[in-house]
Amino acid sequence: MLSEEVLKKIKKIEITAKKIIDDSVTGNYRSHFKGQGVQFSEHRVYMPGDDVRHIDWKVSARTRDPLVKKFEEERELTVLILVDLSGSGVFGSQEKLKNEVAAEVAGTLAYAATHTGDKVGALLFSDIVELTIPPKKGKHHVLRMIKDVMSFSPENKGTSLKIALDSANRVMKHAGVVFIISDFLDEDYEISLKRLARKHDVVAICLEDQRESSIPQSGLICLEDPETGEEAIVDTRSSAFQRWFQENRSFEKQKREDLFKRCQIDSLVIQTHDSSIDLLIKYFKSRSRKRG
């Protein structure tokens, strides 16, 4: 039984997610991704004016008639949303935790996909695959996804993007779109990401909180790793600590951006204080212009 507080949050996410449906970006949602394309339908006899590049020479040689391939637009796109439920998601210095933003983003993407008739599923993970929701259509299916992301209690607190990405490759039988919602605080997943990106259109949505980039100079504080439980006392007024923290954070961000470039995937950063809806709409429009 879900608590009243969780139910309120789910309802708020549902209402917020629906806003994207009325935006002009959703009507052209399909055009933003390469996964839909066209597929072979049948052969027919060549007619004057047909594109000679569509002639199937092997089949034409057998039938002794010039035949061209007839194509039709794929009517259905499969979208899979990977959601990181590791311990680092239970953090937020603003009104929302990172895992609440993850649920909002996942709900928005799911609504946008199902509104255009696409199938959408989800894979919730920590350092294991916690739950797989097979791609389906419909509002009730989307609501279930939001509820699962909001209320699911993961077994583990660690993170393994490699395991999640490899599992996504097995779930997605045909080319489609994969959204990865995570803070990407992990290592050694590049090979799995490249493998996934070769077949699918992959978008990395990076969740961050401003306190992960800037720590106030408040004196001695105890920091705890939410995934391992390891604790450390640091002096935030120390210039050496502040310098180390900023350099380390900048290095990790640059390493992540370089990895995405090598894998040739799009990425979007969403902070816990941002409007995820506005940033998603801005991203879709920007992507549409690039592919113009």
**How does pLDDT run across 50-78, given as a tens digit for each residue?**
777 778 888 888 888 888 876 554 557 88
Identity of the amino acid at 22: D
CA 26 to centroid of chain Cα atoms = 17
Determine the pLDDT at residue 34: 45
- pTM, to two decimals: 0.80
Tell me what the mean pLDDT of segment 184-204 comes to.
Answer: 95
Its CATH architecture, for the domain 4-31+75-291, is 3-Layer(aba) Sandwich (3.40)
In the sheet with 266-271, reading across from the earlier edge strand, the strands are: 129-136, 119-125, 78-84, 177-182, 201-208, 266-271
Task: List helix spans (H) across the chain.
Answer: 4-18, 24-27, 57-63, 98-115, 139-151, 161-171, 190-199, 239-263, 276-291
The residues of the chain that CATH labels 3.40.50.410 are: 4-31+75-291
In this structure, what are the phi and psi dihedrals at residue 79, rounded to the nearest 5 degrees? -115, 130
Nearest to 9 by CA among 105, 115, 146: 146
Between residues 127 and 68, the one the model is more confident about: 127
pLDDT tens figures, 25-59: 454 455 555 444 455 557 888 788 777 777 888 88
pLDDT tens figures, 238-287: 999 999 999 999 999 999 999 999 999 999 999 999 888 888 878 877 77
